[in-house]
Amino acid sequence: MSADTEGCAFCRIANGEFGVRFLYEDPDIVAFHDIAPKAPVHVLVIPRRHLKSLAEASPDQAALLGKLLLAAGQVARQLGVAETGYRTVANTGADAGQSVAHLHLHVLAGRDLAWPPG
């Protein structure tokens, strides 16, 4: 484990250290409820592999990024919000509100979501 991944809460969650119940799980991706939800449905979708943010993603990670988006859609269908609508957000960097240095998508739904956000 590298220094980046050793202290990363999301890496630890993905490795099963905290006993978080996954809504979606495959060899590359996990999804789970946010502990501080900002909407009635608020799920985080993360890669198991540590990647700090989209800013650090490279072309060789295109398949992983695609799987991340497909998993977000699967979670929305599973939770019954795909038909009514949901928002998928990736905050990149502190100024955008990224609070955990591990790439993650927020899937938000269950109420009217204002635009523009923030």
| Nearest C-alpha neighbor of 46 from the set 67, 18, 17, 62 | 67
User: What distance in Å separates the CA atoms of residue 32 and residue 14, rounded to the nearest whole number?
Assistant: 10
CB 85 within 8 A of CB 77: no
* Residue of 50, 102, 104, 106 marked active site: 104
Catalytic residue list contains 50: no
Task: Give catalytic residues, as residue numbers.
Answer: 104
